[in-house]
């Protein structure tokens, strides 16, 4: 009677001793490797593999990395794509994160051996980047910065805000719900399209904790409209919290309608809140900039401890502020002529048509602002195959075509992008 080939399937311990799988355990962990081995053995028992192929099959099934997050080539033309993680970090920031991954002096003075101000280097870099701020604070994200400011200034009291600024910030989260969670009461003034200074003045009183000015960053209201600037609000007998959202620290001629922290502070805002992973081009963080007494009040609030950032975020933020031009800045200011040359070179390798393509800031910043550029148009069937490939390429589906906009693709990755397209095979 012939031997059952399943008896020749290698034992688990022998497979785990394979040098390739042993090395993978150090990189990926035991569970991931054991799962790949078990799956390969199951395929052999089902007759899909010969026993001699089990080890190779287990190696082939190993994940590329210990995280399920996949690197993506962003060919959408949207610079701050929220679903793709917003701002890509600069090489300097990535290096800083790696340096901070181990033990670091994040809250320790090596000269004295005493405890030190947490993240003092990042905080100093932020002060230098926005001299209009007397003091600064960093928390988990932009929403956290706004929650901390309104909690510290207005818990149990009123927050006065225009109805035209009662925004939804994404994923179903709405400003009224966010403020209500702090224990403050919203006092809405004005109408959806028009709010005047007298509306605020009539609402401000002894029970006012702060006046909130929110930049409606992800939409525009045009036509018969009016709003009140920070400089006018600053004359009211209540501190002004200005949420500028996108993290622009100073005026930028490329983004003339985008509010910035410096202008708001000089106009009299007591505190400004914004995000670190948008126009600043850094890691996810909430930036708080303002008067020293107000920022210290926020810093001493118990909620600040719950919202503080970790050492890697502080490291990335400092490197972003002190380091070279960020990928975000480079993508925003990409030369249209160079984008066209790159698109023509890509089309020469993979086929397709070079077409004009307007990029976008994204991340709720500068809605309606077009960033002129160029893309390679391919049949729409490429879109899904590119997403499923390695590397993963996310293009933009528009008018029945898959557009590959090179604005956010580092030029060094043009070859990888071409290879990814060619690996998809002919259009179907």
Q: What is the 3-state secondary structure (H, E, C) of 378-418?
A: EECCHHHHHHHCCCEEECEEECCEEEEECCCCCHHHHHHHH
Residues 188 and 256 in one domain: yes
Residues 150 and 36 in one domain: no
Identify whether 285 is part of a domain: yes
Identify whether 105 is part of a domain: yes
Instruction: Residue 315: give its domain's CATH number.
Output: 3.40.640.10
Identify whether 3 is part of a domain: no
- What is the domain extent for residue 370? 72-83+329-423
Identify whether 405 is part of a domain: yes
Residues 170 and 206 in one domain: yes
Would you say 391 and 72 are in contact if contact means Cβ atoms under 8 Å apart? yes
Residues 206 and 347 in one domain: no
Q: Could you say which of 282, 308, 324 is where a domain stops?
A: 324
- What pLDDT is stored for residue 85 in this prediction? 95
Residues 190 and 237 in one domain: yes
Which of 93-102, 167-176, 306-315, 349-358 shows the lowest mean pLDDT across its residues?
167-176
Q: Could you say which of 324, 359, 376 is where a domain stops?
A: 324
Is pLDDT of 168 > 80?
Answer: no
Residues 97 and 56 in one domain: no
Residues 333 and 317 in one domain: no
Q: What are phi and psi of 187, to 5 degrees?
A: -120, 100
| Mean pLDDT value of segment 246-255 | 94
| Mean pLDDT value of segment 416-428 | 90
- Angle 124-325-329 (CA atoms, 0-180°, nearest 5)? 110
The kind and range of the H/E element at 57 are helix 54-60
Question: pLDDT grade, residue 397 (50/70/90)?
Answer: very high
Residues 93 and 23 in one domain: no
| Mean pLDDT value of segment 245-262 | 93
Is pLDDT of 1 > 60?
Answer: no
| Mean pLDDT value of segment 401-411 | 97
**What are the tens digits of pLDDT across the range 31-44?**
999 999 999 999 99
| Mean pLDDT value of segment 213-241 | 84
The pairing of strands 158-162 and 185-189 is: parallel
Dihedral sign computed on CA atoms, order 133, 134, 140, 145: negative
Residues 312 and 359 in one domain: no
Measured CA to CA, the distance from residue 357 to residue 372 in angstroms comes to 6
Measured CA to CA, the distance from residue 54 to residue 281 in angstroms comes to 46
Identify whether 428 is part of a domain: no
Question: pLDDT grade, residue 191 (50/70/90)?
Answer: confident
Residues 359 and 317 in one domain: no
- What pLDDT is stored for residue 226 in this prediction? 84
The kind and range of the H/E element at 242 are strand 240-245
Which of 172-181, 284-293, 411-420 shows the lowest mean pLDDT across its residues?
172-181
Maximum Cα–Cα distance for the chain, whole Å?
Answer: 98
Distance of CA 261 to the CA centre of its chain: 19
Identify whether 2 is part of a domain: no
Overall number of domains in the chain: 3
| Mean pLDDT value of segment 234-245 | 95
**What are the tens digits of pLDDT across the range 83-97?**
999 999 999 999 999
The kind and range of the H/E element at 159 are strand 158-162
Measured CA to CA, the distance from residue 312 to residue 93 in angstroms comes to 9
**What are the tens digits of pLDDT across the range 338-396?**
999 999 999 999 999 999 999 999 988 888 889 999 999 999 999 999 999 999 999 99
- What pLDDT is stored for residue 363 in this prediction? 86
Question: pLDDT grade, residue 235 (50/70/90)?
Answer: very high
Is pLDDT of 322 > 90?
Answer: yes
If you ran DSSP here, which 8-state letter would residue 226 be given?
B
State what percent of residues in the chain have pLDDT above 70: 96
Identify whether 54 is part of a domain: yes
> Helix (H, G, I), strand (E, B), or coil: what is residue 368?
coil
Please give the model's pTM, rounded to 2 decimal places: 0.92
365: left (phi over 0), alpha (psi -120 to 50) or beta: beta
Q: Could you say which of 324, 340, 375 is where a domain stops?
A: 324
Q: Which of 313, 404, 303 is nearest to 352 (CA)?
A: 404
Residues 143 and 290 in one domain: yes
- What pLDDT is stored for residue 372 in this prediction? 96
Instruction: Residue 391: give its domain's CATH number.
Output: 3.90.1150.180
Q: Which residues contact 108 (CB under 8 A, 6 or more apart)?
A: 114, 115, 116
- What pLDDT is stored for residue 222 in this prediction? 67
Is pLDDT of 173 > 80?
Answer: no
- What pLDDT is stored for residue 179 in this prediction? 87
Average pLDDT, the chain: 93
Measured CA to CA, the distance from residue 137 to residue 106 in angstroms comes to 15
Residues 167 and 234 in one domain: yes
Identify whether 79 is part of a domain: yes
**What are the tens digits of pLDDT across the range 265-298?**
999 999 999 999 999 999 999 999 999 999 999 9
The kind and range of the H/E element at 142 are helix 142-154
């Amino acid at each position: 009677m012939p031997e059952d080939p399943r008896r020749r399937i290698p034992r688990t311990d022998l497979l785990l001793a394979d040098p390739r799988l042993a090395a993978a355990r150090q990189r990926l962990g035991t569970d991931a490797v054991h799962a790949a081995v078990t799956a390969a053995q199951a395929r052999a028992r089902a007759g899909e593999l010969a026993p001699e192929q089990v080890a190779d099959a287990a190696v082939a099934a190993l994940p590329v990395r210990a995280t399920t997050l996949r690197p993506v080539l962003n060919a959408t033309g949207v610079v701050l794509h929220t679903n793709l993680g917003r701002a890509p970090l600069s090489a300097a920031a990535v290096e800083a994160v790696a340096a901070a991954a181990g033990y670091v002096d994040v809250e320790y003075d090596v000269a004295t051996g005493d405890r030190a101000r947490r993240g003092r280097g990042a905080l100093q870099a932020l002060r230098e980047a926005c001299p209009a701020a007397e003091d600064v604070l960093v928390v988990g994200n932009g929403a956290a910065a706004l929650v901390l400011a309104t909690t510290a200034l207005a818990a149990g009291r009123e927050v006065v805000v225009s109805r035209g600024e009662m925004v939804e910030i994404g994923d179903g989260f709405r400003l009224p719900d966010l403020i209500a969670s702090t224990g403050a009461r919203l006092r809405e003034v004005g109408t959806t399209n028009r709010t005047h200074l007298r509306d605020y003045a009539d609402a401000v009183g002894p029970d006012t904790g702060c006046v909130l000015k929110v930049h409606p960053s992800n939409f525009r209201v045009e036509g018969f409209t009016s709003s009140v600037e920070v400089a006018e609000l600053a004359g009211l007998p209540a501190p002004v919290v200005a949420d500028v959202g996108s993290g622009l620290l100073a005026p930028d001629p490329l983004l003339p309608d985008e509010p910035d922290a410096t202008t708001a502070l000089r106009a009299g805002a007591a505190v400004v809140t914004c995000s670190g992973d948008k126009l600043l081009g850094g890691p996810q963080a909430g930036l708080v900039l303002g008067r020293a007494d107000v920022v210290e009040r926020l810093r001493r609030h118990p909620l600040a401890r719950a919202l503080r950032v970790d050492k890697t975020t502080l490291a990335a933020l400092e490197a972003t502020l002190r380091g070279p031009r960020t990928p975000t800045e480079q993508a925003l200011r990409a030369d249209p002529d160079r984008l066209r040359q790159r698109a023509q070179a890509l089309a020469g390798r993979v086929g397709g048509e070079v077409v004009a393509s307007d990029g976008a800031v994204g991340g709720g910043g500068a809605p309606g602002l077009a960033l002129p550029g160029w893309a390679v148009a391919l049949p729409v069937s490429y879109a899904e195959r590119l997403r499923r490939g390695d590397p993963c390429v996310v293009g933009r589906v528009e008018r029945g075509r898959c557009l590959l906009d090179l604005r956010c693709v580092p030029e060094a990755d043009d070859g990888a992008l071409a290879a990814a397209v060619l690996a998809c095979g002919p259009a179907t």
